[in-house]
């Protein structure tokens, strides 16, 4: 490996280290408690060194959210590709969404500003559009061969998302049900909305 490649690799490693440390601090202390100075102390860097990679705390949040949306899209894509039937795809995709939120709780909270005090960033990053586009494609397939307007597709997407994101948010803020009941509510909600489209 040449010196140029080594330098680039070291920069990538440092950037990843900063992001990992920021997410760890958010997990422990919340978004509001994170500062560039605290982050620098946490990883034994100087604050100016952190600013070489991220111009602000908001830039850090945005990059973490970008990575989260890419990870979410990858998990949902795998779930979708495991099925050929649109009804099964829809259920699998939303279950993958749920599983992502549970497995990467702090990242999900950051991505959608659930109980964190962080500002939502999904409107500022293109990666946040990948998941809605995948779901919208399957919604169109559920309507086929009937014609459906893009407005109606969007309404159905937000119906799914509002219910499922709401269930996730309730569980993150105050866990009051066991996992079996959560799954029953989740699957019932998905199937209920899908039935509105297909019947």
**What is the reported pTM?**
0.86
Question: Looking at residue 176, which CATH number applies to its domain?
Answer: 1.10.357.10
| Count of helices and strands (H, E) across the chain | 9, 0
What integer pLDDT is reported at residue 176 of this predicted model?
60
Residues 40 and 96 in one domain: no
Q: Which of 9, 36, 55 is the last residue of a domain?
A: 55
pLDDT in tens, 143-188: 999 999 999 999 999 999 999 999 888 887 766 667 788 889 999 9
The predicted-structure confidence for 134-144, as pLDDT tens digits, reads as follows 999 999 999 99
Residue 60 located in a structural domain:
no
101 and 186 together in one domain: yes
Asked whether residue 86 falls in the same domain as residue 152, the answer is yes
Domain limits at 100? Answer: 65-198
Decide if pLDDT at 111 tops 70.
yes
Q: What is the mean pLDDT of the chain?
A: 87
Q: Dihedral (C-alpha) 50, 59, 103, 189: value to the nearest 10 degrees? A: 170
The Cα-based distances of 63 to 1, 8, 119 in angstroms read 28, 18, 13
Q: Is the pLDDT of residue 21 over 60?
A: yes
Give domain status of residue 192, yes or no: yes
Q: What CATH number corresponds to the domain at position 20?
A: 1.10.10.60
- Do 91 and 16 sit in the same domain of this protein? no
Q: What is the pLDDT of residue 189?
A: 94
Q: Report d(CA 92, CA 89) in Å as an integer.
A: 5
Query: Do 116 and 156 sit in the same domain of this protein?
Result: yes
When divided into structural domains, the chain yields a total of 2
Q: Based on the domain organization, do 70 and 31 belong to the same domain?
A: no
Tell me the C-alpha to C-alpha distance, in Å, between residue 15 and each of 19, 22, 34.
Answer: 6, 11, 17
């Amino acid at each position: 490996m040449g010196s140029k490649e080594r330098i680039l690799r070291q920069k990538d490693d440092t950037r990843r280290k900063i992001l990992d440390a920021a997410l760890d601090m958010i997990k422990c202390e919340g978004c509001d408690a994170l500062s560039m100075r605290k982050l620098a102390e946490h990883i034994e860097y100087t604050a100016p060194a952190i600013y070489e990679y991220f111009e602000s705390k908001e830039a850090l949040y945005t990059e973490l959210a970008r990575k989260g949306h890419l990870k979410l899209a990858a998990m949902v894509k795998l779930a979708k590709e495991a099925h050929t039937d649109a009804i099964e795809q829809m259920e699998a995709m939303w279950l993958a969404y749920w599983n992502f939120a549970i497995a990467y709780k702090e990242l999900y909270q950051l991505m959608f500003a659930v109980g964190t005090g962080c500002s939502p960033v999904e409107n500022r990053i293109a990666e946040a559009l990948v998941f809605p586009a995948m779901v919208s494609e399957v919604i169109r397939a559920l309507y086929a061969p009937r014609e459906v307007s893009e407005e109606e597709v969007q309404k159905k997407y937000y119906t799914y998302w509002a219910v499922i994101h709401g269930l996730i948010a309730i569980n993150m803020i105050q866990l009051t049900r066991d996992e079996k009941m959560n799954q029953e509510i989740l699957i019932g909600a998905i199937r209920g909305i899908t039935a509105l489209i297909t019947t």
